[in-house]
Structure 1
Amino acid sequence: MNSARLSWRLLRGGGRKGMVGAALTLAAVAVSSLLLVFAVAVNHAFDGRAERAEWRNPPAHGKAVQVTAERPKGAVAVQAVDGENLGGRVLTIVRFAVLKDGVKPPEGLRRLPKPGEVMLSPALAELIERRGTSVAGLPPAPAGSPRIGDGALVHPDELVAVVGHAPKDPEVAKARKDLSVREIPPVWIKGFDNKALDEAVAYQALATVATALMVVPLLVFGGAAARLTVARRDQRLAALRLIGATPGQVVAMTVAEAVVVAFAGSVLGAVLYGVAMPFLSRVEIGGGPWFTADLWPGLPYVLAVVLAVPLLVGVSAVVGLRRVVVSPLGVAKRETPPGMRFVRVIALLAVLAVFPALGVGVRMDVFPAMSLAVGVIAVMVGLAFLCVNLAGPWVVALIGRIVSRLARTPAMLLAGRRLVDDPRSAWRTVSGVAMTGFVAGFIGLLAPGEWALEPDDLAGVQMFADIRTGTVVVLTVSFLVAIASAGITAVSSILDRRQTYALLHLAGTPLSVLDWARRAETLIPLAVMGGGSIAAGAFAAMPFMIAGPNAAGLVPLLVSIAVGFVGVVAAGEMSRPLLRSVTLDPAPRPD
């Protein structure tokens, strides 16, 4: 019998609770895959917006030069861009004076406008029709005027007008101001191979950092899915090793079971993301919602996620087999594994120590390009996440030893001993909230305050609002990971220890004591690791603060603590009926 068939028979032979364990892994991978596709799509969406807005940002070099008395060779038009505040919404007006016929227009425009002609975006045309009057500074657009297509718009609700002028019209030669109160001179243009708007570059940078804040916890969560019900699986595989199974067969069975379940979960997650796209497109950032197509990252990226997550789960499962392969008798005897080393904490401290130097480098313009600086920051944030995950089990084991020594009740003694015996399992329950705490600490201090804005800087106001929206989105994703992780690992932990729970109950331990021990096993590490990760995130963010601490930035911190604590406790309480059911088993036996 080959390894795959044997793995399938053992999975089916695990009974209803064995299938529940597989379902938990599938659910964890589905959530992780769905949110990973979303994190990838965010960058694709901002890149798409930046590309569609480039045509209105002609640089003062390359294919465009500032208007002077002498027309440069090759100039095909004069372009001027300005912004208006239209009832709290941004109105972008692009003026053209065409100097040569047959100029290829940018995508989204059928042609460049003739003198006196006005082209409106659908949202602006609808607004003017609803108001019944034209907008100040714009000539009236007669019925049937060309509309600006989606290819020239940042988002579906964007207000954009394209106005045509005669080459000698003084209106087109005036210097104008955008909504960041910057003066923008008109330019001669030779084409539309332009650069991205400064605002678009800023959004792309923020999206890169936000992706790092979301992707690494999701990868950790996805990898941890392979370790759900790990004790039950290790006992089963250790028994097979003791009766003659080779290490290669054990590894092959583990990979087959983990990868098949994970692949089904990743496909389910990708399908669920496709269903959620129309709803996600209504989230407003940058002044409006998204084109649904923006949130589709492309089939290659989706396939990469669908294939990478099962691969990650398979690798994680194989890494966790070291004890089974090397010491199957120790696993069968339930020996406490050797303690972890302090080097895990040293790695975290070393990564955090880099952030102050990185902040100095950013302030002194050491990096040749802002994109490089943002990339380095994103990588360091990702490393910090990984090191928090690396140090977490060591800290949990330390907490367990302290709790065991100070315990005055049976429940606290059970909780402390369990933390010492299997700190990795306890860490998986609270790791989601710890990651969320790091995210909240990092972005909480970086959130700009209202006082940092110029009075007439509507673009700055919009950016401030979008950062708050982005903060909510990132924290929401983190909360989903934290609560899903807590609920799934709490259930799988009880399935892992159902024989132990049942034997303790048969020996006379009240269910209330077991329940309190289960709670303490979660809440004590949650309080310590949650606070520690928030402090670590805040420390990492401090070097990048533009000014002093922003009181408004404390709001995400407080909300994350409250929601994370309540969410994890509620998710843990969902496993209470399962605890009651496993303790009622009159003849507990291992798988």
Structure 2
Amino acid sequence: MRNLMALTWRLLRGGGRRGLLGSSLTVAAVAVSTTLLIFAVAVNFAFAGRAGREAWRSPVPAGGTARAIEAVQADLVRGRLVTVVHVAVLVPGIAPPPGLTRLPGPGEVAMSPALAAIANLPELVGRFPRTVAGTVGDAGLIHPGELVAVVGHAPADPVMSGRGTAGHRPGAPATRVAGFEGATTPDAGAYSALAAVASVFMVVPLLVFGGAAARLTVARRDRRLASLRLVGATPGQVVVMTVAEAVITAFGGAVLGLVLYAAASPPLTRVEIAGGPWFVADLWPGVLPLAAVLLAVPLLVGVSAVAGLRRIVVSPLGVAKRETPPAMRFVRVTGLLVALALVPTLGFGARVGVVVAVLGLAFLSLNLVGPWVVALVGRVTVRAARGPASLLAGRRLVDDPRSAWRTVSGVALTGFVAGFVGLLAPSSSLSAQDDVVASWLLRDIRTGTLIVLVVSFLVAIVSAGITAASSVLDRRQTYALLRLAGTPLEVLDRARRLETLVPLTVMGGGSILTGAICATPFAKVGVSSTGAITLLVCVVAGFAGVVGAGALSRPLLRSVATDPAPRPD
């Protein structure tokens, strides 16, 4: 085992400048995946944390002896929501709510720092008692800068009996409680459900991208491992070497991704959801979730690398001779058909877990269907070819549809997200409601949609750029031989563009349609011109991003195509 690890490390270090470039591409891909994966995980913990800090304002009636009375009111002051919690102690010794060291007594008030800073505004003068009993700390606030006051009363005060609430927006009526644990509010539950769905839209492309990172520069590594297999290496030794190489590079990328996320966290806290920004601690899911991500990403990359070893173990000579692998079968489409058949069971009455499972199945199935469709598109392209560029592109799609799919999978999967959220983009007229909280929800849906699309496009464009460069490195010998045989560089570059744009057009359109179909049970949210504009922008940005990412690797193509002495690794 020690000798195998030493050989793996030597091969990893001794790959030369282009071998180092290939490993660097893998590290970069894993780093981006890890950064965004941590963000997708942290979003759920962040909303759960907010729900926990808000719960004390949703009083639960006492099942036995009541120890306090709690009433909650909400009002607007210069466009900002002010939450006032009225409390009256029935039994001394009751523990205060989160963020308070003690409950204010009758005629006392505790304010959040933000509310205390504006307490002299004319609209607030005389609204609260003059005696300040303390401060509502971060543990009792939904977000930084929230305006919250806790006012102490005697049990006989009108507000504690349900009277005296005229002129205020709805909150929670006077309730006899045993404590201030509270319950999750409906709004908090809605945000948590939307965060779970958004996580599916972000996590699935990241998992696909992370798995694809294990197959970057696949031809170089496969030929090298096939050579070792032919000279006597056992299947077990080949697997160990592959896992070791993949895990070493992936772990380095995962650590780099954690560093990038730490750098990105402060700006992310400024994104306002549900009326305010975030505490820094909200965006850190904890030691165990972070450790799980840092372990899961290298494991995923290692498993994906091993999954591609079947041909090397079974037919190393075929790999060394670069024979065309067997065609993929129609069975790959089965999962997508099952997911689409389950779509009519979804809707607002369905459980969040069921919605997430069906959408996740459809999303993952698109990744399985992609290579099969690419191979089919390649055969059609070969038959319809009218020039050398289209013929080369079609043959390449047929020979290695998985590699071609890796280049366009990011944008294609983003098409699913765009098709889903584009159809459901709420119209501006829906946000003009009297209730500032239904308004926040609709505005936040638009904000969340934008965040999901930005994350998805970032993954897609980075994926396209990295896999395009990796593909050039994989085929550098083929490019150099074609160039020496007289093929113009422009033909090679045009073939490479067609190899990307043709399957992107087919799979991108199919993914958008699939996403729209999955969104139909939820269409009563409201469909407007905003959805069509979002969809159009997504299509244009997706194509432009892939074309631009491919153009960045053109100097690399020129470099490998003009190499006068192509040689295998």
Return the TM-score normalized by structure 1: 0.92
**Aligned residue number for residue 82 of structure 1:** 73
State the partner residue of 1:376: 354
Separation in structure 1 between the aligned mates of residue 554 and residue 467 of structure 2, nearest angstrom? 13
CA distance, structure 1, for counterparts of residue 114 and residue 371 of structure 2: 53
Mapped pair 1:250 → 2:204: no
Report the equivalent of 1:509.
487
Give the residue type in structure 2 aligned to 1:127: I
- For residue 227 of structure 2, the aligned residue among 236, 239, 250 is 239
- Among candidates 306, 310, 314, match of residue 326 of structure 1: 314
Please show how residues 415-494 of structure 1 align to structure 2 within 5 Å: 415-452=393-430, 455-494=433-472
1:250 Cα shift?
A: 1.1
Equivalent residues of 1:177, 1:184 under 8 A apart: no
Listed as ranges, the matches of 1:264-275 within 5 Å are 264-275=252-263
Q: How far did residue 275 of structure 1 move?
A: 2.1
C-alpha contact (below 8 Å) 2:75/2:169 kept by paired residues = no
User: Structure 2 regions of 5+ residues with no counterpart?
Assistant: none
Aligned residue for 1:540? 518
Q: Give 1:433 shift.
A: 0.4
Looking at structure 2, the residues matched to 100 and 574 of structure 1 have their Cα atoms a distance apart, in angstroms, of: 71
- Return the alpha-carbon distance in structure 2 between the equivalents of residues 261 and 565 of structure 1: 30
Residue identity opposite 1:270 in structure 2: L
Match of 1:297 among 285, 290, 302: 285
On the 8 A contact 1:176/1:185 being kept in 2, the answer is no
Q: 1:428-453 CA distances to partner (integer Å, 9 max, x unpaired)?
A: 00000011111111122233334446
The answer to whether the 8 A contact 1:176-1:183 is kept is no
Alignment of 1:270-349 (within 5 A): 270-349=258-337
TM-score between both structures, scaled by the size of structure 2: 0.96
Is it true that 1:353 corresponds to 2:354 in the alignment? no
In 1, the alpha carbon distance for the partners of 2:355 and 2:46 equals 21
C-alpha separation in 2, matches of 1:179 and 1:461: 20
Mean CA deviation greater in 445-454 or 461-470: 445-454
Secondary structure class of the residue paired with 2:118: helix
Q: CA deviation at 1:179?
A: 12
2:427 and 2:104 map into 1 onto residues whose CA distance is: 41
1:117 aligns with 2:105: no
Q: Between Structure 1 and Structure 2, how many residues are aligned?
A: 568
1:138 and 2:139 are equivalent in the alignment: no
Give the Å deviation of 1:137. Answer: 6.8
Moved more, 172-181 or 44-53: 172-181
Partner secondary structure for residue 358 of structure 2? helix
Give the Å deviation of 1:520.
Answer: 0.9
CA distance in 2, matches of 1:547, 1:578: 48
- C-alpha contact (below 8 Å) 2:378/2:394 kept by paired residues: yes
- Of the structure 1 ranges 163-172 and 412-421, higher mean CA displacement relative to structure 2 is found in 163-172
Task: Give the corresponding residue for 1:27.
Answer: 28
CA distance in 1, matches of 2:240, 2:166: 62
- The DSSP-based 3-state class of the residue aligned with 2:103 is coil
Deviations 1:5-51 (A, max 9, x none): 11222223321000101010011111111111111111111111001
Deviation at 1:485, TM superposition (A): 0.5
Separation of aligned partners in 1, 2:65 and 2:191: 33
Task: Measure the CA separation in 2 of the matches of 1:553 and 1:177.
Answer: 40
Name 1:107's counterpart in structure 2. 98
Paired AA for residue 41 in structure 2: V
Supply the distance in 2 between the matched residues of 1:189 and 1:397 (Cα, whole angstroms).
65
The CA distance in 2 between the partners of 1:434 and 1:179, in whole Å, is: 52
Aligned to 2:4: 3
**Could you tell me how far apart the structure 1 residues matched to 2:165 and 2:199 are?**
33
Partner of 2:502: 524
Structure 1: distance between partners of 2:335 and 2:264: 38
1:389 alignment partner in structure 2? 367
**1:128 aligned partner:** 119
Distance 2:365 2:533 in 1: 26
SS in 2 for 1:167: coil
Matched, 1:576 2:554: yes
Partner of 1:553: 531
Q: For 1:163-221, what per-residue CA distance to the aligned partner results, in whole angstroms no more than 9, with x for missing partners?
A: 22222221333368899965742111221122111111111111111111111111111
Question: Equivalents in 2 of 1:473, 1:173: separation in Å?
Answer: 44
Partner of 1:53: 54
Change (3 A) 1:453 1:575: closer
Preserved contact between residue 259 and residue 313 of structure 1 (Cα < 8 Å): yes
SS of the counterpart of 1:160? strand
Are 1:52 and 1:152, in contact at CA under 8 Å, matched by a contact in 2? yes
Q: Name the SS of the counterpart of 2:492 in structure 1.
A: helix
Q: 1:69 maps to what in 2? A: none
- Corresponding residue for residue 499 of structure 1: 477
Q: Which residue of 2 aligns with 1:163?
A: 151
Distance 1:179 1:26, change over 3 A: farther
Query: Following TM superposition, by how much is the alpha carbon of 1:529 offset from its aligned partner in structure 2, in angstroms?
Result: 1.1
DSSP-derived class of the 1:545 partner: helix
Cα deviation for residue 74 of structure 1 reads 2.3
1:407 is matched with which residue? 385
TM-aligned CA distance change 1:221 to 1:473, over 3 Å: same
Contact 2:246 2:302 (C-alpha < 8 Å) held by counterparts: yes
State the secondary structure of the residue aligned to 2:433.
coil
Distance 1:138 1:62, change over 3 A: same
CA distance in 2, matches of 1:347, 1:30: 30
Deviation per CA, 1:461-488, whole angstroms, max 9, x where unpaired?
0111111111111111111110110010
Do the aligned residues in 2 keep the contact of 1:165 with 1:172 (CA within 8 Å)? yes
SS at match of 2:152: strand
Rounded Cα–Cα distance in structure 1 between residues aligned with 2:345 and 2:352: 14
- Aligned residue among 87, 90, 93 for 2:84: 93
- RMSD between aligned alpha carbons? 2.0
Offset at residue 313 of structure 1 (A): 0.6
CA gap of 1:454–1:483, structure 2 versus 1, over 3 A, is closer
For residue 227 of structure 1, the aligned residue among 210, 215, 238 is 215
